[in-house]
Chains A and B, each alone.
Chain A
């Protein structure tokens, strides 16, 4: 579905991403992980054509450099980490804009639009908030609204840039569970940048570890999440750190 061949991204004389290649197929959830500054978000932005890059990106076998913006949006949905809203649109209006790429320039005809928006709202648990002003939503609700917008786009591939890193535990779980539910339909795939290794391991089917702009390991989740790779990328014993973090502090106390 998505094939990335030798992609590099440079800012003037600094190379943020160097010669990355990988592939994502239907049913897979690829987790892009690595320390800060590893180039994960830069790589995602290059694939989404927000940043210029060298190399090739193929979407459904087509070179994305030749795809028009609308065509890209019909095939690939992108959820960014932060959102800037200035005006009191309703949740429904926000989600409805996800149909933009399916509507023609002058006649806005979109036979599937209504159904797709309703389904996306229902999947994200927002049906009750459809008339709500987006400026009054909590961070978690707003992220779900944008996730619903991406779902309404009706693509088979999702690119998520740290979709839940600024959210509390309940919303993190809600966002990841929602994406996992979406992925149940055959032929769909997800690629996401994730900071939290526990979430990456819990939800991912595949992983790509990056360090200083380079790929360190790529493949099925269990072949990438090895003690050796984790230590190479984070320069520390990640397993020991998690054991220390997860010492049974809750179980110590009653109530």
Chain B
């Protein structure tokens, strides 16, 4: 699996509007790792300053979104659930959009303004979902949470449309951003994503057994000794931080968190210890390939990444759904 990640990464770095042979790409990357002087080498500049940080960021966003999807699907016992179903993604999008519109930035930390507001809004959406779910149904039943998540997503969508319609000259950048893109991602973005993925990813991996317990029913999870409320809150918090950071950097990129965990489950089975790791790696590979398609299909025009994932993901998901129905019948 790691070899697949490395190979896909290498291909994605090599290909683009200016294709560079694989062996040449590998040697430039190796020279870059060893810190050799590559000044004056145009191909090295393209690879090391443009493509590599972007491919790394794309891998990390894909891995994070897919990991979040797998975790939410276990927690909510629903294969169609992911961070987006909870309303966390749309909350994060709204926060990021507000930060862009109001020009909120933190001194010394250019990325942090959007990310902080994005994570805060992701958290607030989460708290709102939990508060409403708790008010309606004290047990925080999963169906209630999903329903409220859907309502919240629609509400946030309306607010975002409202913001876009009032945004005037910034409209184009906002629209492109809501479609999802990592075209401007550099090493700073990659490092930020890596930090978030390591911290939240470890939290989620540490709860693999609890997610198995949730996947077999919440009442049963409590009966075997799982602290249902604490685990729910921890997993949801980790998911919302990850999604908040991803959305603040790459915008809305849909379907990764739905399709990849599904495929991973078919390959590895439902046990979360393996499922989470497989989803993480496959999610990264999938998004790297989608980004490659976005960059090269209509070159020199670049497609928004979110559009590519939705196009591939929707068709693929319909296929999965039809297949599942056929098997059930």
Residues of A participating in the B interface, judged by any CB pair closer than 8 Å: 48-50, 68-70, 72-74, 77-80, 83-89, 93-94, 97-98, 100-101, 103, 105-106, 108, 146, 149-150, 153
Partner of A84, one of B77, B212, B270: B77
Partner of A88, one of B217, B220, B223, B269: B269
Q: Chain B: which residue is nearest A77 at the CB level?
A: B223
Q: Is there contact, CB below 8 Å, between B225 and A73?
A: yes
Q: A69-B227, A106-B206 are in contact. Are A86 and B220 (CB under 8 A)?
A: no
CB proximity to A under 8 Å, residues B205-261? 206, 209, 212-213, 215-217, 219-220, 222-228
Q: List chain A residues, Cβ under 8 A from B49.
A: none
Q: Is there contact, CB below 8 Å, between A89 and B270?
A: yes
Within the assembled complex, what's the spacing in Å between the Cα atoms of A85 and B219? 12
Partner of B217, one of A83, A93, A100: A83
B271 close to A (CB within 8 Å): yes
B3 to chain A, nearest CB (A): 28
Q: List chain B residues, Cβ under 8 A from A83.
A: 216-217, 220
Within the assembled complex, what's the spacing in Å between the Cα atoms of A106 and B223? 20
Q: Is there contact, CB below 8 Å, between B209 and A101?
A: no
Within the assembled complex, what's the spacing in Å between the Cα atoms of A98 and B216? 11
Within the assembled complex, what's the spacing in Å between the Cα atoms of A153 and B223? 10
Q: A85-B217, A106-B206 are in contact. Are A73 and B271 (CB under 8 A)?
A: no
Q: Is there contact, CB below 8 Å, between B215 and A69?
A: no
A44 to chain B, nearest CB (A): 11
A248 to chain B, nearest CB (A): 42
Q: Is there contact, CB below 8 Å, between A69 and B270?
A: no
Q: Chain A: which residue is nearest B218 at the CB level?
A: A84
Q: Is there contact, CB below 8 Å, between A50 and B206?
A: no
Within the assembled complex, what's the spacing in Å between the Cα atoms of A242 and B217? 37
Q: Is there contact, CB below 8 Å, between A97 and B77?
A: no
Q: A73-B224, A73-B225, A78-B223 are in contact. Are A100 and B216 (CB under 8 A)?
A: no
Q: Is there contact, CB below 8 Å, between B216 and A94?
A: yes
- Most chain A CB within 10 A, of B74, B206, B209, is at B209
Q: List chain A residues, Cβ under 8 A from B220.
A: 80, 83, 146, 149
Q: List chain B residues, Cβ under 8 A from A74.
A: 225
Within the assembled complex, what's the spacing in Å between the Cα atoms of A14 and B216? 31
Q: Chain A: which residue is nearest B265 at the CB level?
A: A87
Q: Is there contact, CB below 8 Å, between A108 and B209?
A: yes
Q: Is there contact, CB below 8 Å, between A93 and B224?
A: no
Q: List chain A residues, Cβ under 8 A from B78.
A: 86
Q: Chain A: which residue is nearest B269 at the CB level?
A: A88
Q: Chain B: which residue is nearest A150 at the CB level?
A: B223
B79 close to A (CB within 8 Å): yes
Within the assembled complex, what's the spacing in Å between the Cα atoms of A97 and B215? 11
B121 to chain A, nearest CB (A): 29
CB proximity to A under 8 Å, residues B180-225? 206, 209, 212-213, 215-217, 219-220, 222-225
Q: List chain A residues, Cβ under 8 A from B217.
A: 80, 83-85
Q: List chain B residues, Cβ under 8 A from A146.
A: 220
Q: Is there contact, CB below 8 Å, between B271 and A89?
A: yes
Within the assembled complex, what's the spacing in Å between the Cα atoms of A153 and B217? 17
Q: List chain A residues, Cβ under 8 A from B74.
A: 87
Q: Is there contact, CB below 8 Å, between B223 and A48?
A: yes
| A-B contact list, 23 entries, CB within 8 Å | A48-B222, A69-B225, A69-B227, A74-B225, A79-B223, A80-B220, A83-B217, A84-B77, A84-B217, A86-B215, A87-B215, A87-B270, A88-B270, A89-B215, A89-B216, A89-B269, A97-B209, A97-B213, A97-B216, A100-B224, A100-B226, A105-B206, A106-B206
Q: Chain B: which residue is nearest A83 at the CB level?
A: B217
Q: Is there contact, CB below 8 Å, between A101 and B224?
A: yes
Partner of B212, one of A93, A106, A150: A93
Q: Is there contact, CB below 8 Å, between A80 and B219?
A: yes
- Most chain B CB within 10 A, of A69, A101, A146, A153, is at A69
Partner of A50, one of B215, B219, B269, B270: B219
B60 to chain A, nearest CB (A): 25
